[in-house]
Amino acid sequence: MKNNKTVTVIDYGVGNLLSVSRGFEAIGANVVVTSSLSKIKKAERLVLPGVGAFGKGMQELKNRDFDKAIIDVISEGVPILGICLGMQFLMETSNEFGFHQGLGLIPGNVISIPKKSIGGDDLTVPHIGWNALEVSSFHSSWQGTILGSTKAGSHVYFVHSYMSNPTDSEHLLAHCFYGGNIITAVVLKDNIMGCQFHPEKSGSIGLEILKKFLTI
């Protein structure tokens, strides 16, 4: 059954559009997948998916003038959810295969996840699999956020080699541990949200996160 919430999923040629769309459709959202600049500018809620390399993805956004449109829309208070690579685009810069400028919506950069555990053992990169979400040290709870219905320790699905590294700890909403290393899982700044993991592939827990995004 449809509800009255519409999400606009940005199609820039790089992203898991089908699974993201199906995730939102499963919770009753009206989903608009678009490569139209005008539709992006009129969006009620934006979703920025992404897989692959940072530099190529950002270039595709720039080629379509989507980068400027996203920044303008977000400045007007429209909520945005970046997923996986889409979350990394929210940062200022990335050092994946060179130096690249991001959207600059959240202060910080994108760095490689550690290749060693805190005990010195080799870690498999990319980081693939289910990991438990933990409340970051700056936040006492997730109430009022996209994790408002999620319990600490809930497992979600990750596939990535790089991660966001916010400059300000207040923008780190949740993390997970990989080999004892802290891995950024969710970032938040006002109406700007990002999940390093794939909520659309994280079962009922992921769908609850998408539901919360509809209420922001």
Residues with active-site annotation: 84, 198, 200
pTM of the model: 0.95
pLDDT (tens digit, 9 = 90+) per residue, 49-96?
998 899 999 999 999 999 999 999 999 999 999 999 999 999 999 999
Give all domains of the chain, ordered by start, each with its CATH number: 6-98+107-215 (3.40.50.880)
15 pLDDT band (50/70/90 cuts)? confident
pLDDT (tens digit, 9 = 90+) per residue, 161-185?
999 999 999 999 999 999 999 999 9
| pLDDT confidence of residue 16 | 79
CA-to-CA dists, residue 203 to 27, 173, 181, 206, angstroms: 12, 20, 25, 5
Task: Find the angle CA(9)-CA(176)-CA(91) to the nearest 5 degrees.
Answer: 45
